[in-house]
Amino acid sequence: MERSSLPDVELVVRTMAETIVANEAYFSQLDAVVADGDFGYSLARGFSEVLAGFDQFDRSSPSTFLKKVALVISSKVGGASGPLWGTAFLRAAAACDKKQTLAPEDVIAMLRAAAGGIQQRGGAVLGDKTLLDALIPATDALQDSLQAADSDVAAIQRAAEEARRAAEATSAMIAKKGRAAYTGERSIGSVDAGAVAIAVIAEAVSAAWRGHHQAAKEPA
């Protein structure tokens, strides 16, 4: 993977935000199966504010940009997701502080910091049937693929495939965190909304990355 810079970070954040807004109803439907059905609404309200303010955010570095995104998410995303996603962005920002360009190891460190922040904030561990059950395996796959010297396009696709597989696998788990936990064993048989959101976002980022970077390299 080549070094990434602010335009790559912007591409990822914009793709995330557009995907979340486009999937508002779908994500809420998934949450409604075992919880209160506000997940898509909460996320979409916050990320539509990210899109609205996008062009005005401080762009002195990837870290300052991500900090601003974190602030908007923390203040505008409601429910349990606001503090979790806000913390994830804030930790990712801190992990690349003072860097203008990001090496593959920096990207992995940012994703690990984001997952660590979510764990600290929400107290969930792997297997509790939350978005971490897709985010952590996808990060592992990205790291493995990058270490195997795959192209960045291939590595991100691999991570998205793993996020999808892992999200589907949450169907067999019992929810231990969030509102879904109140349903106990009745949560078995349906996928976790947050984990599916991670898969949908990862697939969209993979497609956007391929469109941007592969197209640029192909001979005319």
Ligand X SMILES: Nc1ncnc2c1ncn2[C@@H]1O[C@H](COP(=O)(O)OP(=O)(O)OP(=O)(O)O)[C@@H](O)[C@H]1O
Smallest distance from ligand X to CB 118, Å = 5
- Decide if 46 contacts 72 (C-beta within 8 A): yes
Structure tokens at 147: 């270490």
CB atoms within 10 A of CB 53: 14
What element of type H or E holds 193?
Answer: helix 193-209
Q: Enumerate residues 194-213 that contact ligand X by CB under 6 A.
A: 194-195
Among 20, 35, 138, 205, binds ligand X (CB under 6 A): 35
Task: Tell me the H-state helices in 131-173.
Answer: 132-147, 152-169
Structure tokens at 195: 């984990």
Q: How far apart are CA 195 and CA 108, in angstroms?
A: 19
- Decide if 5 contacts 101 (C-beta within 8 A): yes
Q: Enumerate residues 63-122 that contact ligand X by CB under 6 A.
A: 79-81, 84, 118, 122
Q: Enumerate residues 24-83 that contact Mg ion by CB under 5 A.
A: 31, 35-36, 38-39
Rule CB under 6 A: is residue 192 a binding residue for ligand X? yes
Rule CB under 6 A: is residue 38 a binding residue for ligand X? yes
Contact range with ligand X by CB under 6 A, out of 68-76, 86-94, 95-103, 130-138: 130-138
Rule CB under 6 A: is residue 59 a binding residue for ligand X? no
Q: What is the DSSP letter of 177?
A: S
Indicate the residue among 7 and 123 with the shorter CB distance to ligand X.
123
Rule CB under 5 A: is residue 203 a binding residue for Mg ion? no
Residues that bind ligand X (CB under 6 A): 31, 35-36, 38-39, 42, 79-81, 84, 118, 122-124, 130-132, 177-179, 192-195
